[in-house]
Amino acid sequence: MCAISRGVRGRERFTTLTGVAAPLHMINVDTDMIIPKQFLKTIKRSGLGKHLFDEMRYDPEGNENPNFVLNKSTYRDAKIIVASENFGCGSSREHAPWALLDFGIRCIIAPSFGDIFYNNCFKNGMLPIRVSKQDLDKLMEHAKRGANTTLTVDLEAQTICGPSGGEVIFEIDAFKKQCLLEGLNEIGLTLQEVDKIERFEDGQRASRPWLYVGAAE
C-alpha cells in the first residue's frame, strides 16, 4: 500500500510505499523500451500502462510473453521495480514515467538512471532511488522471492525495508524529497507564492503603468 494524500493541484503525496517489487535484471533499459515511439502520439497520461515495455511484454501478434517479469502472476500488481544500471537512458520522453505510473509503479530502485528520466520521475510524483551495487544485489534477491515478500519504502526516513528486517538507507536531494512529501510540482510551488506574485504585479502597475497600456484588466 502507499500512504497517499493530495497536495496542491491534486498531486499525490509520497510518504511510504509497501508493495511487491518486480526484479528487472537488465542494464541500459532505455525510454524506447519503457514506452515505444508508436505510443507517443497522445498527450494524455492515462492509458499508457497497457503499453509499458510493449515490445518485451507482447509478441508481434499481441500475445503476452509469459517469461517477461510483469506478465507473471506474482508481479502483475507490482508497485516497485528493482532494476539494473542506467535505467531510463535514451530520449527524454516524459511518456516513460507516465506509462510506469499508469501501470501502478510508484518507485524505481537502481544503481543509476538516465538524468532526464530521473528528473521526470520527480516531476510526476514517482520516486527513483539510487542504491549501491551491493544493496541492489540484496534487493534484487529479495524481489525474486515474489509476492510472498514485499518492500517498504519510507521517504521521510529514507529507508527501504523488507518484512524480515534489514534496512537500506538511500540519499535524495532535499528539495526533491520535500516536493514529493508535499505533493508539489513546479506549478504547485508557484501557486504557493500567489499572494507575493499578485502584490508584485500590483506594485508594477502602480509604478510603471505604461507597461500595462492596452492590457486586459
DSSP 82-93: EE-TTBTBSS--
Q: Let me know if residue 146 belongs to a domain.
A: yes
Asked if 94 and 31 touch (Cβ cutoff 8 Å), the reply is no
pLDDT tens over the chain, length 217 residues? 555 444 444 468 899 999 999 999 999 999 999 999 999 988 888 899 999 999 999 999 999 999 999 999 999 999 999 999 999 999 888 999 999 999 999 999 999 999 999 999 999 999 999 999 999 999 999 999 987 789 999 999 999 998 777 899 999 999 999 999 998 877 777 777 788 888 888 888 889 888 888 765 5
How much is the pLDDT for 136? Answer: 96
Q: How far, in Å, CA of 16 to CA of 89, rounded?
A: 26
Q: Torsions phi, psi of 59, nearest 5?
A: -85, 175
- Per the CB < 8 A criterion, the answer to whether 8 and 188 are in contact is yes
| pLDDT score for 215 | 64
pLDDT at residue 114 in the model:
97
pTM over 0.75: yes
Q: Is 46 within a domain?
A: yes
Q: What is the DSSP string of 20-31?
A: -EEEE--S--BH
Q: Is residue 2 in some structural domain?
A: no
Query: What is the amino acid identity at position 32?
Result: D
- Read off the C-alpha cell for 135: 544493496
Range of the domain at 179: 8-184
Is the domain of 43 the same as that of 98?
yes
DSSP conformation letters of 68-79: SGGGSGGGTT--
- 8 A C-beta contact, residue 132 and residue 28: no
* Same domain assignment for residues 131 and 190: no
State the Cα–Cα distance between residues 179 and 128, nearest whole angstrom.
13
Q: Are residues 19 and 60 in the same domain?
A: yes
94 domain-assigned: yes
Per the listing, cell 506594485 goes with: 203
Number of domains in the chain: 2
Q: Which helix (H) or strand (E) holds 154?
A: strand 151-154
Amino acid making up residue 167: E
Residues 76 and 143 in one domain: yes
**Does any domain span residue 3?**
no
